Structure 1
């Protein structure tokens, strides 16, 4: 059964606001989602001290959010198509804000981790729904490309602001304000959403595929949970093998359920009939590893090899974040003119040169001479490819599938990032272990250099797959 969308009766639907305000709303939601993925990192020492976390338990203040964020996005996107974009955006904001309040007031580790897990669920609804809103609001090619560029740049601002904002709030007030600050912002965004978004609902009789929702969400969550344990326990540990295997089995069941038994599948096969969706998501899966290599391992290199503080490392990545935002806006202008293939190829060239250059850095390197240049190149590559791939992976999708397509694209990036982190961290540790002193700056630099070389190879794969994208995107 094909899902279509209809507008709610005028008596119950508020008038649609101007497109610019809708774009601002979508960008603000994306900013908040990405901000909360990183803002807590700087506050973790204070959180651990005040609430009595163990050294391993405090990591779940971050991991709990990322796990449900990635695991529930496909479900969140489909729910937006079934129950309406405005309704689910408001629901996501409400859950996210309420969980933030609970986290800010938490008195025990269990309450804080539970709040972060719930926050991730709210974020998993917000991220694909904002994409669905953009996809159905901006249907003209140039306007759509610019909207996706702005949305991508908003995520970049959120990532850049996370460390700086978290440090300022923790130092100036308390770590609790890292969470509490979301409450007033969320309330304002709910009011804006209720005012400017049109009421859209699915065709009468459309329902959520519960069997697919359960198996798909549980499978993704189990797989990601297993992969998250790799850096602590290793690939062969039961802590990794058991949940990973369970996740793969559940995803296999999900595939069978969707193909044979679901009348209205959570992930309709018709989406993969669109070449942009199929190729775009495969490329985004590879792209997730690039983002991890850039932002995560470059930060580790600055801190563990060049001996920068966490704040100084964050400031050291700020020029690259600014470059990403500027290039992302320009790539949105270029996309309708030159097409997705050329932008992905250009981004991949930036990745190969940038990571190849960065792989030559060592313990005796300097930031200005050996880190700044390559990270600016890599960030430019991300600016060229990310908004392009997100636009490609959602182009040509009917309004009734817009949320699902957005959820699938966001999930591909997050799963690729999780797999990339596990694989690259293992490779780095293995290379460093061959040194006589595995904890020395030289040994760590060797490990990170292998990560950067691997990322350059990953970029070549992105270039090859990206050439399969359609020459012209259907909007």
Structure 2
């Protein structure tokens, strides 16, 4: 028994819900908030496009690489301990980012932030599950958790713009500190204890080889902007990625309790939704990165105006995520996913004439379509994946989809950053147009994958999980 006098059960559960939601909120905000600071960081550190790509990607790369490990750590050591540790690590890293005096230091602390985020997200759901034993109450708690993350992701650019205008770029990181301290206190005092399972394997060799494959791929794609595709270093990084990926597959195939059971991919729905999720985040985060540079470096928007410029594309995420959760049971996973991807294709292609006319007003409707279409598709494929696997595989399946989406975001920022690497306006705009055409093409590929791999109806709808996995 704890020496601290326990609060009433509803009160304790309420505090746990707030702590879990705050954890997801700060993680989600830091996905999008940095984009409105790109021009400010360029001036502060005399950074090029490659350096700015790493500021964004360092966070997402470690986040993606460590998600499965974080879930395993929570199972082995207890979700409460790992969740609290994630809060502490994320908060300390935010202080480091806010006090960084070089671009290298900022990137380094962003890597640590990504690890803290990975520890927070899967274990926030675990502590919620322990705090709410009633299925209905747990469903509502997870719904609020997801709504908080979706709202934070949408509000990130606006909040970031206002903070930068009022207090400078360091404030977008330091604002996490009081939130982190409150979250740690609430978790440690009110979250119920969770037992670890010593038998759960952490699969260290699989984790290292998988992370190395992702890191070398991200390095090759990102550094190509400054070193060119002919560089031996770039080709060496690609080769290392392929070899590490092959080692990872071999380890997971032979490991009896590997972190990623390869038989999951024999399920066509799992394979299809994983690829669709990767493509969705690739095009979304890649275009958000390039538009951040467009608004700030080419159109010379202030940080707060840049944040407001993203509002149509971001705010629609929350609305369409909720709509997707309600429509999937009526329309079916395949039809709703196809509809969302089709809307997104129209949105991305409709941006081309608006950019040719140098008109922000002309971008508003296409941004609503692009963001809304993606937001319809992602919760739907999440629901389809979870409905297609056994209950005991739901956690690893969700982790796989989240990891694939984070990898897609890293690839999008790296690839589209290469297209817009030239500072001259004409070359930049040509590269941005290339990014939009590639986005539409990849979404058409995702459309074909959805047609071939998704069932018309979701056999066993998982409403809670649909709402819970909203990190578009």
Query: Is the structural similarity TM-score above 0.5?
Result: yes
> Gapped runs of 5+ residues in structure 1?
1-8
Once residues 299 and 107 of structure 1 are traced to their aligned partners in structure 2, the CA distance between those partners, rounded to angstroms, is 23
Verify: 1:458 aligned to 2:442, yes or no. Answer: yes
CA 1:141–1:462: 2 relative to 1, 3 Å: farther
Once residues 75 and 123 of structure 1 are traced to their aligned partners in structure 2, the CA distance between those partners, rounded to angstroms, is 12
CA 1:340–1:214: 2 relative to 1, 3 Å: same
SS of equivalent residue, structure 1 residue 235: coil
**Alignment correspondent of 1:33:** 27
**Alignment correspondent of 2:381:** 389
- Is this contact kept in 1: 2:278–2:405, CA < 8 A? yes
Q: Which among 299, 323, 329 is matched to residue 330 of structure 1?
A: 323
Once residues 90 and 74 of structure 1 are traced to their aligned partners in structure 2, the CA distance between those partners, rounded to angstroms, is 17
SS of equivalent residue, structure 1 residue 267: coil
SS of equivalent residue, structure 2 residue 354: coil
What is the CA distance between 1:96 and its match in structure 2? 0.6
Counting only pairs closer than 5 Å after superposition, residues 96-135 of structure 1 correspond to structure 2 as 96-106=90-100, 110-130=104-124
Once residues 363 and 281 of structure 1 are traced to their aligned partners in structure 2, the CA distance between those partners, rounded to angstroms, is 34
Decide which moves more: 166-175 or 276-285: 166-175
Decide which moves more: 191-200 or 92-101: 191-200
Higher helix share: 2
Q: Which among 173, 185, 193 is matched to residue 167 of structure 2?
A: 173
Decide which moves more: 24-33 or 324-333: 24-33
Normalised by the length of structure 2, the TM-score is: 0.81
Q: Which among 362, 376, 381 is matched to residue 368 of structure 2?
A: 376
**Alignment correspondent of 2:432:** 448
**Alignment correspondent of 1:314:** 307
Counting only pairs closer than 5 Å after superposition, residues 263-274 of structure 1 correspond to structure 2 as 263-272=256-265, 274=267
- Is this contact kept in 2: 1:304–1:444, CA < 8 A? no
Once residues 424 and 36 of structure 1 are traced to their aligned partners in structure 2, the CA distance between those partners, rounded to angstroms, is 20
- Is this contact kept in 1: 2:383–2:461, CA < 8 A? no
CA 1:104–1:374: 2 relative to 1, 3 Å: closer
Once residues 258 and 24 of structure 2 are traced to their aligned partners in structure 1, the CA distance between those partners, rounded to angstroms, is 27
- Is this contact kept in 2: 1:148–1:391, CA < 8 A? no
Verify: 1:249 aligned to 2:236, yes or no. Answer: no
- Is this contact kept in 2: 1:146–1:329, CA < 8 A? no
**Alignment correspondent of 2:359:** 366
Once residues 440 and 326 of structure 1 are traced to their aligned partners in structure 2, the CA distance between those partners, rounded to angstroms, is 35
**Alignment correspondent of 2:465:** none
Verify: 1:469 aligned to 2:454, yes or no. Answer: yes
CA 1:67–1:245: 2 relative to 1, 3 Å: same
CA RMSD of aligned residues (A): 3.8
> Gapped runs of 5+ residues in structure 2?
463-472
CA 1:421–1:178: 2 relative to 1, 3 Å: closer
Q: Give the length in aligned residue pairs.
A: 455
Counting only pairs closer than 5 Å after superposition, residues 43-54 of structure 1 correspond to structure 2 as 43=37
Verify: 1:348 aligned to 2:341, yes or no. Answer: yes
Verify: 1:189 aligned to 2:183, yes or no. Answer: yes
What is the CA distance between 1:33 and its match in structure 2? 1.1
Q: Which among 223, 231, 235 is matched to residue 229 of structure 1?
A: 223
